[in-house]
Amino acid sequence: MDGRGRSRVVLSVVGARPNFMKLAPLARQLAQWRGAEHVIVHTGQHYDWEMSEAFLQDLGMPRPDYNLAVGSASHAQQTAAIMQRLEPICVRVQPDIVLVYGDVNSTLAAALVAAKLGISVGHVEAGLRSRDWSMPEEINRVVTDRLSDLLFIPSRDAGDNLCAEGVPSERVHFVGNVMIDSLVALLPAVRRRNGRNRHALGDGPYIVVTLHRPANVDDPATLQELLVTLSELSEERQVLFPVHPRTRARLHGLNWQPPNNALVLLEPVSYIDMLSLVMGSELVITDSGGLQEESSFLGIPCLTVRPNTERPITCKVGTNRLVAAQRAAIRDAAHEVWGRRCDPAPVIERWDGRAAERIVVVLREGAWAGSCHT
C-alpha cells in the first residue's frame, strides 16, 4: 500500500521472447504481494505463437492484461506504435512504476512513455553494455538506463558500467539474473522433457545452434560462411538448428537446404524444449544473449558468434567464448571444447534463482516513489 492506503500498481511491459522469461519469476513474486496490483502489457513486438504465446504456457504466466499487437516493422515505426498505444493505458491505469525488461524496442518505448508521463521506471537487466553502437539493442540499453529510476543489475560488471556513466549508486540494485530464476524454476520439467528422446537423437553427441542477429544472417556472404561451417561440423556431430523466423526467411532467399541428415532444421521450439536440448548437448553455437547465460549456468560450452558481448561475465566466469563468423575460427574452437562440459557448472554470484525476490524487496520498500528523474 502507499501512504494513502491505495494498492501499489506495478505495470510490466514485455514484447519479445526473452522478456517473458525475465517477467515470469517476477510475476510470481508480485502475485504474493497483497499490497500491489500487477498489470501486464504485451506489445506484440514478437507476435507469432512460438515466440510469445507458447512461453506463457511453459512459464506458467498469466495472460497479459493488454496486447498492443504492434507486429513487426522498422525500428522507428515499431517504437512509435508501441508509444502511441501504451500511453493511454498508462494514463488510464496510473501505475506507480513501469517495469521494462531487457533491451528490445518495447523496452525503450515503454521507458520513454513512462518518463514523459512522470512515472517511475524500473529496468530489469540494467547496465549491460557491448559498446557496439551498430547494435540497436545497445542504443535501447543505454537510453533506457538513462531514463530509469531503479536499475536492477544481473552482475557486478553491469554496476561498474553504470557507475562509469554517472548513474547515482542509490538507484542501482544488484539483484542477480532473473533469466536464471526461470531456468531454476523449470529444471524439473526440463529434465522430464528429455530433448534427446523427443527428437530421436540416439546416443551420440550433438550441437545446438541458434543464429538470428542481422550481422550474421542478413549478409548473404556471412550467412553462407556460417552454413558451410555448420555443414562441416555435421560431418562430425549431429547439429540441431531451431530456426528463427528471420533466419528462415534468409535461408529461403538463398534456396538453401541441409546437405545431409545430420544437420537438422527445426521450427522454433518452446523454452522448455530449448533448455532440454541445451542440457543434453555437447556444445552451443549462438548469437543470442540468453543462451550465453543459460549455457554457463548449465556448464555447457558455448561459442558466441559475435565480436563482443554485453554479458562478459559469461566469458570470464562461465563457459562462453566469442568467435568470429568464420569457418576456421568456429571449427577450431568447437574442436577445442568437444567433450569439455563443466561439472560442476561455474558458480556466478547471485545467479541463484532468487533475483525476482530481491527485486520485489526493493519495490516494497518504496523509497523510489516520487523520485522520478531527479
Amino acid at the residue 108: L
Select which of 212, 252, 335, 373 is catalytic.
Answer: 212
Interior angle at CA 9, CA 362 and CA 367, nearest 5: 30
Q: How far is CA 131 from CA 198, 283, 322, in A?
A: 40, 27, 15
204 burial via Cβ count (<10 Å: 0-12, 13-18, 19+): exposed
Among candidate residues 301, 342, 328, the one with its CA nearest the CA of residue 233: 328
Task: Report the C-alpha gap between 64 and 159 in whole angstroms.
Answer: 31
Are the beta carbons of 329 and 306 closer than 8 angstroms?
no
**CA 296 centroid distance within chain:** 14
Residue 283: its H or E element: strand 283-286
199 is a catalytic site residue: no
DSSP 303-372: EEESS--S-THHHHTSSEEEE-SSHHHHHHHHHHHTT---SSPPP-TT-SS-HHHHHHHHHHH-TTTT-T
Name 208's bridge partners: 240, 284
How, if at all, do strands 97-101 and 263-266 pair? unpaired
Residues with a known catalytic role: 212
